[in-house]
Amino acid sequence: MKVLGINGSHRKESTTLFFLKKALEICEKEGHETETIELWDKRLEYCKHCNHCRDHPGECSIEDDVPGIFRKMKESDAIILASPTYFACVSGRMKALMDRSITLRRDNYTLKNKPGGGIISGASRNGGQEFVLSQIINFFLLQEMLPVSDKQTAHFGGIAWVPRGSKPEDDKLGIETCENLGRKIAEVLKMMKS
Ligand SMILES: Cc1cc2nc3c(=O)[nH]c(=O)nc-3n(C[C@H](O)[C@H](O)[C@H](O)COP(=O)(O)O)c2cc1C
């Protein structure tokens, strides 16, 4: 089965990507195919609330890279959304992608019943990562997806803390939460297959 990871960081040298890869590596070890999409280099406009998708469910009036990303989301069996914390919110690019996905919701909930996991990085130890995870979990619920936990480590998903001057590799607990999220995704996919 296929697990898609989307990284909402605005920069190429992304710490969030390091943690997303930890979750995807576990999914691969469990026998799943994975793919990563990064948003920093994509043409990604804001939803204009033009309501084109109300009359044409699944379509969007904006011609950029988003329809291609949606195609990959639809083809995947599970989705992990990863984002840095920006003022205790998801990144602007991740939020733009979420808003644009209203067309999928209007298209009879195209993403429904796909397991979804969230991974958030932040520079402060209590920088709002849990608030951001709840935004991602709410997104999954609004799309009728199935949010999964990271089992017993952080509960709400992958939570990473990379303060200034340290490396992602230093956050052992953060890595563990991401790996456990990958394990949970694989566990749910296995249940769905049987
Ligand atoms: C505009 C902006 C706002 C930020 N706000 C927060 C914040 O509220 N809490 C936090 O812990 N870190 C905050 N950070 C730090 C980033 O979340 C952190 O460095 C993150 O790991 C960067 O991930 P990336 O390298 O994948 O982009 C902020 C960074 C930027 C640029």
Q: Over its length of 194 residues, how does the chain's per-residue pLDDT go in tens digits?
A: 999 999 999 999 999 999 999 999 999 999 999 999 999 999 999 999 999 999 999 999 999 999 999 999 999 999 999 999 999 999 999 999 999 999 999 999 999 999 999 999 999 999 999 999 999 999 999 999 999 999 989 899 999 999 999 999 999 999 999 999 999 999 999 999 88
Q: Does the C-beta of 119 come closer than 6 Å to ligand 1?
A: no
Residue 180 near residue 150 (C-beta atoms within 8 A): yes
Residues with Cβ within 8 Å of 113's Cβ and at least 6 positions away in sequence, in order, are 144, 145, 146
> How many of the other CB atoms lie within 10 Å of CB of 14?
20
Is 19 close to ligand 1, i.e. is its CB under 6 Å away?
A: no
pLDDT of residue 154: 85
Tell which residue, 99, 102, 94, 81, has the closest CA to residue 185: 81
pTM of the full structure: 0.98
CA atoms of 39 and 101, how far apart (whole Å):
14
What domains are there in the chain, each with its CATH number? 2-193 (3.40.50.360)
Structure token digits, residue 162:
């990379």
Strand partners, 121: 84, 160
Angle at 134 between CA 131 and CA 135, to 5 degrees: 95
89 lines ligand 1 (CB under 6 A): no
Nearest CA to ligand 1 atom 22: 84
Which residue's CA is the nearest one to ligand 1's atom 8?
Answer: 87
